[in-house]
Amino acid sequence: MNNIHKTAIIEEGAILGDNITIGAYTIIGSKVTIGDGTKIDSHTVIDGKTTIGKDNHIFSHAAIGTIPQDLKFEGEDVELIIGDNNTIREFTLFNPGTKGGGSITKIGNNNLFMGYTHVAHDVIVGNNCVFANCATLAGHVEIDDFVVIGGLTPIHQFCKIGTQVMVGGGSVVTQDIPPFCLAEGNKAVLRGLNLNGLRRRFENRDDINAIKAAYKNLFESAKPLSEAANELLETSENKYVKELANFVLETKRGIPYNRK
């Protein structure tokens, strides 16, 4: 049984699961689908072709699925997909995709988006991430799993953030941040490894030691970055080292590190 406030507006065509709560003065558009157990607080707008999974909590004054802030957008059929168990706090803004970016913005599971977080068109977010207040993801940004983005941090369009990355608050990210790394600054540069995150996630200390050695070979030696990455792929059997090396070789926007 759903609990829908009498002042909420649910447009014809919207699909609601079971045990959904919708607060006062919230508006749900005709193309919206909401999964079981999701709670939507007052004064929220959910519009467009938006699919929201199970057991999410969307707080008041969020704007979810409104049209992209892209001057090239001309009303194409685009989509926003949000997974399960996400917490989306007050005054957040999530836009769907655009035709030029694949037409889909996609959010995974178990993420926390604190107040005023902005998720632009064609963004891809993985699972178990935390975005502190006023984190700003520009169009086409890709965020892998277990990422933490500090408050007041913008991320430039088309940037990729690897798994288990932590970006310090008040940073400005304009290049790709490799997996397992810590980045900070305006403009953000690598400051080392996200060791606290690695110790929480990995039980095998050998994996952490292998990542440490790989980081030194890549970013603390005089070798050209691509040469060091290719050597790691040839010599290491560790899957996390290979993930790090492949990210470096595949970067489109470059890696922000202090070269020797």
Alpha-carbon 162 to chain mean position: 10
Q: Which of 118, 121, 140, 156 is catalytic?
A: 121
Which of 143, 160, 185 represents a domain boundary (last residue)? 143
- 113, 218: one domain: no
Question: So what's the pLDDT on residue 78?
Answer: 98
| In the block, residue with structure tokens 């999530």 | 94
- 125, 14: one domain: yes
Q: Is residue 150 domain-resident?
A: no
- 9, 120: one domain: yes
Which of 109, 143, 177 represents a domain boundary (last residue)? 143
- 134, 9: one domain: yes
Active site residue 139: yes
SS3 130: strand
Q: Both tokens of residue 148?
A: 């933490």
- Looking at residue 252, what DSSP letter applies? S
Cα separation, 198 vs 114, whole angstroms: 23
- 103, 230: one domain: no
- 237, 139: one domain: no
Q: Is residue 151 domain-resident?
A: no
- 137, 208: one domain: no
- 85, 203: one domain: no
Q: pLDDT tens for residues 223-259?
A: 999 999 999 999 999 999 999 999 999 999 999 998 7
Which of 107, 122, 143 represents a domain boundary (last residue)? 143
Which H helix or E strand runs over 79?
Answer: strand 79-82
- 27, 135: one domain: yes
SS3 248: helix
Q: Is residue 172 domain-resident?
A: no
Active site residue 122: yes
- 133, 233: one domain: no
Q: What is the CATH number of the domain that holds 229?
A: 1.20.1180
Question: So what's the pLDDT on residue 126?
Answer: 98
Q: What stretches in the chain show pLDDT beneath 70?
A: 260
Q: Which residue type is seen at 10? A: I
Q: Is residue 75 domain-resident?
A: yes
SS3 121: coil
Cα separation, 81 vs 21, whole angstroms: 19
257: number of Cβ within 10 Å: 20
Question: So what's the pLDDT on residue 75?
Answer: 95
Closest CA to 117 of 147, 152, 144, 141: 152
Q: Is residue 183 domain-resident?
A: no
Q: Is residue 159 domain-resident?
A: no
Active site residue 169: no
Q: Which of 53, 108, 139, 150 is catalytic?
A: 139
Residue 211 lies in domain: 198-250
Q: What is the CATH number of the domain that holds 122?
A: 2.160.10.10
Q: Is residue 116 domain-resident?
A: yes
Q: Is residue 165 domain-resident?
A: no
- 81, 15: one domain: yes
Total structural domains within the chain: 2
Q: Are strands 181-185 and 188-193 parallel, antiparallel or unpaired?
A: antiparallel
Q: Which of 70, 84, 122, 176 is catalytic?
A: 122
